[in-house]
């Protein structure tokens, strides 16, 4: 591996490490072959030194070594196969996800982040839920009633509804939106943290809400504002039976993967996909908060059949967490296109409108379940159709790049929101 200054770079050279700008933005992956255009843009991004080599770099060799170690490889295969209910995946997309899943698991094992600890990080339900015999029968779980109960329980500040109105009004201006958001200092601080993250990769620090609105757009900022407000209301009132850290780790992983997957094809949709990812499984929190006994039975049945939890919810409750979450967001004034992302994240093929964004969320959900810590509750993965996978147009190289980019951003976004109470073990979205 050799370090060269940007002025000494020549096209055709190969990167031996991921290339990151001084502001933390991911630019190119390890193994990329430099073009004259790349070299020009490195100067613009303020990059001064670059690692280059003829070989693909040390990380690749390490990965290769773990995949050649039969013991590590077998353990990795077993742990990933467990997520597929013990069987080998048949569809093209699931097969590809299995491949990268085994590689990531082997990497984690080799780095001595043993899989029992990562399995622990994946546990969503606290163990006591299985012995919650003291919980009386649930009052009833009609979907509408659950939505009403949640609406009665959580109240948002006036600003939230004003932002929601502005988002749905074609007349509202960027200045108006920026003024509304600026009235809430905690919300503004959270949004500025996001605007300064690698998600946007803005070279100069964004220090005010009007500046953030000008850079990413009033609509985009309003969508993020609604998402952060709703996430904050769940962060503050954790469900009793749930590991909230694990829940938010999964939600952030889906949000970031969704944003990285969509930025190439639908850059204007990244905020709504990000917020959709953050909130996609909140229906599970509502179910656990209001009908824990019923959810315990659903969970036990899913475990017994090694079935995705969402399937068992439909079978035993008559609806699933996605429909419940989507209906609640609609009630809270989310634009339909955003609440539908949550509502159909397990049924992307059922909706023609916004089908790419829905597909992205469904793929991001499964990828997050295999590759990253955290859990939305299901021990077993739902199936992805071949049509959905094809729509993503992900070559193995593109998928590897998405994973690497997402890995870095997930850690950053997680750290942005972690902290607050309890020595940093709880999430604080505001
Ligand atoms: Fe879900
Ligand atoms: Fe999920």
* CA 247 to ligand 2 centroid distance, Å: 9
Predicted pLDDT at 12: 65
Nearest alpha carbon to residue 39 among 29, 50, 30: 50
Q: Which helix (H) or strand (E) holds 330?
A: helix 321-331
Residue 329 lies in a domain: yes
Decide if 221 contacts 212 (C-beta within 8 A). Answer: yes
What residues contact residue 90 under an 8 Å CB cut-off, 6+ apart?
none
Same domain, 253 and 395: yes
Decide if 336 contacts 357 (C-beta within 8 A). Answer: no
* CA 365 to ligand 2 centroid distance, Å: 5
- Alpha-carbon 257 to chain mean position: 5
Mean pLDDT of the region 28-55: 72
Task: Tell me which ligand sits closest to the C-alpha of residue 369.
Answer: 2
The per-residue pLDDT for range 293-313, each reduced to its tens digit, is: 888 889 889 989 999 999 999
Residue 427 lies in a domain: no
The per-residue pLDDT for range 262-295, each reduced to its tens digit, is: 988 888 899 999 999 999 999 999 998 888 888 8
Q: Which domain holds residue 77?
A: 65-110
Residue 325 lies in a domain: yes
Pairwise CA distance, residues 404 & 417, whole Å: 21
Same domain, 88 and 210: no
Same domain, 49 and 72: no
* CA 69 to ligand 2 centroid distance, Å: 32
Same domain, 167 and 270: yes
* CA 55 to ligand 1 centroid distance, Å: 41
Residue 58 lies in a domain: no
Residue 121 lies in a domain: no
Cα dihedral 406→412→413→419 (10° resolution): 150
Residue 134 lies in a domain: yes
Task: Tell me which ligand sits closest to the C-alpha of residue 325.
Answer: 1
Same domain, 281 and 400: yes
* CA 41 to ligand 2 centroid distance, Å: 36
| Count of the separate structural domains present in the chain | 3
Same domain, 165 and 90: no
* CA 250 to ligand 2 centroid distance, Å: 7
Decide if 86 contacts 380 (C-beta within 8 A). Answer: no
∠317-319-322 over CA atoms, to 5°? 130
Predicted pLDDT at 422: 41
Decide if 397 contacts 408 (C-beta within 8 A). Answer: no
The pair of structure tokens assigned to 181 is 């958001």
Same domain, 83 and 196: no
Predicted pLDDT at 217: 92
Residue 38 half-sphere exposure toward CB, CA atoms < 13 A: 19
* CA 419 to ligand 1 centroid distance, Å: 25
Comparing 66-80, 221-235, 395-409, which segment has the lowest mean pLDDT? 66-80
Residue 400 lies in a domain: yes
Say what the pTM is. Answer: 0.82
The pair of structure tokens assigned to 64 is 């290769």
Decide if 364 contacts 389 (C-beta within 8 A). Answer: no
């Amino acid at each position: 591996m050799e370090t060269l200054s940007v002025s000494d770079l020549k096209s055709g050279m190969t990167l031996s490490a991921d290339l990151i700008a001084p502001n933390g933005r991911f630019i190119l992956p390890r193994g990329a072959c430099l073009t004259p255009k790349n070299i020009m843009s490195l100067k613009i991004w303020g990059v001064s030194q670059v690692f280059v080599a003829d070989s693909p770099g040390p990380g690749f060799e390490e990965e290769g070594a773990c995949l050649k170690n039969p013991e590590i490889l077998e353990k990795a295969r077993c742990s990933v196969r467990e997520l597929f209910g013990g069987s080998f995946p048949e569809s093209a997309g699931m097969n590809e996800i299995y491949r990268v899943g085994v590689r990531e698991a082997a990497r984690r094992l080799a780095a001595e982040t043993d899989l029992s600890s990562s399995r622990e990080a994946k546990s969503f339900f606290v163990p006591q839920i299985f012995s919650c015999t003291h919980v009386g029968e649930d009052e009833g779980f009609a979907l509408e009633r659950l939505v009403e109960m949640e609406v009665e329980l959580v109240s948002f500040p006036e600003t939230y509804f004003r932002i929601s109105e502005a988002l749905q009004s074609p007349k509202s201006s960027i200045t108006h939106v920026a003024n509304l958001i600026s009235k809430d200092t905690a919300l503004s601080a959270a949004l500025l943290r996001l605007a300064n993250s690698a998600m946007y990769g803005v070279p100069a620090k964004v220090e005010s809400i009007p500046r953030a609105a000008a850079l990413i757009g009033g609509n985009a900022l309003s969508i993020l504002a609604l998402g952060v407000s709703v996430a904050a209301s769940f962060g503050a009132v954790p469900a009793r039976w749930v590991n909230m850290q694990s829940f938010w780790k999964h939600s952030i992983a889906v949000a970031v993967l969704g944003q990285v997957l969509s930025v190439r094809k639908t850059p204007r949709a990244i905020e709504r996909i990000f917020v959709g990812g953050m909130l996609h499984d909140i229906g599970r929190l509502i179910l656990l908060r209001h009908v824990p006994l019923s959810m315990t039975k659903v969970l036990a049945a899913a475990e017994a059949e090694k079935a995705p939890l969402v399937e068992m919810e439909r079978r035993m409750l008559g609806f699933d967490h996605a429909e419940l979450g989507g209906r609640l967001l609609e009630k809270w004034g989310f634009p339909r296109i955003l609440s539908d992302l949550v509502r159909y994240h397990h049924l992307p093929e059922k909706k023609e409108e916004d089908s790419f964004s829905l597909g992205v969320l469904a793929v991001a959900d499964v990828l997050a379940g295999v590759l990253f810590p955290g859990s939305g509750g299901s021990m077993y993965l739902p199936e992805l159709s071949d049509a959905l996978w094809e729509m993503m147009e992900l070559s193995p190289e593109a998928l590897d790049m998405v994973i690497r980019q997402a890995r870095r951003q997930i850690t950053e976004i997680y750290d942005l929101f972690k902290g607050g109470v309890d020595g940093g073990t709880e999430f604080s979205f505001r």
